[in-house]
Structure 1
């Protein structure tokens, strides 16, 4: 669910996010989605639930 939240924020059509004008804004958004997806997976594996 966290990657979906991040993707939905960056997928909206508005121009007030300053990082939308950064050259590294899109790669950083993708990286944050990957990190947000990896943290729960690693947590569940560590707890033995996966």
Structure 2
């Protein structure tokens, strides 16, 4: 499943792939860091607040 985030550097919308975790795929594991497709800036995935 793809999750959308905004790059801190250029403001571009970026999609990050989350891998399903567990049998029912209710939760997804996102990478801690990802690279913006537009400006190549390294972004940090926000913490889950639940």
Whichever of the two has the greater Rg, that structure is: 1
* Band the TM-score falls in, shorter-chain normalisation: under 0.3
- Give TM-score scaled by structure 2 length: 0.19
Specify which structure has the higher proportion of helix: 1
